[in-house]
């Protein structure tokens, strides 16, 4: 279950970083935090959500009863990030580092999805 632990640890680290340095991390991804409201929103969504996702991945990865559900959830979230990120590459002018993000997101989504299907087994075919 290394995928859940590694990806979870990365989310935890990023969430903590976003919480401790919202101005620096937001500037790194192109956000401008104009006031307290913007900082609050950034810390909540990027800090709190990422810490929550990371903790959930690690904790469900440690529990055999929760592992398959946690893995499914983590894979779905990761695939959704890719699905929403890729069109932005064609729609907006983005710096090179955003392409590095999408590579990491694709690898993460593939790794978690592979782990899910490896544990779950071959997906059930729908009869027609």
Interval 21-48: pLDDT, tens: 999 999 988 888 989 999 999 999 999 9
Q: Model-level pTM?
A: 0.87
Radius of gyration of the chain (CA): 16
Instruction: Express as a percent the part of the chain with pLDDT over 70.
Output: 95
Tell me the average pLDDT across 109-119: 94
Q: What is the rounded CA–CA span in Å between residue 63 and residue 53?
A: 16
Any domain includes 127: no
Which domain, by its residues, includes 92?
A: 2-120
Any domain includes 94: yes
Structural domains in the chain (count): 1
Any domain includes 125: no
Hey, what are 79's tokens?
């695939």
Helix ranges, 21-48 (H): 22-28, 36-42
Any domain includes 60: yes
Q: What is the rounded CA–CA span in Å between residue 128 and residue 115?
A: 28
Any domain includes 71: yes
Any domain includes 114: yes
Any domain includes 126: no
Any domain includes 37: yes
């Amino acid at each position: 279950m290394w995928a859940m632990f590694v990806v979870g640890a990365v989310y935890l680290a990023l969430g903590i970083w976003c919480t401790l340095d919202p101005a620096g991390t937001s500037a790194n991804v192109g956000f401008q935090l104009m006031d307290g409201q913007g900082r609050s929103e950034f810390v909540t969504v990027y800090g709190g959500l990422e810490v929550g996702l990371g903790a959930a991945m690690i904790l469900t990865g440690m529990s055999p009863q929760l592992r398959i559900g946690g893995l499914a959830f983590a894979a779905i979230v990761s695939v959704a990030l890719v699905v929403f990120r890729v069109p932005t590459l064609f729609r907006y002018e983005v710096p090179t580092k955003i392409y590095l993000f999408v590579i990491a997101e694709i690898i993460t989504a593939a790794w978690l999805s592979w782990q899910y299907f490896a544990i779950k087994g071959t997906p059930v075919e729908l009869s027609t």
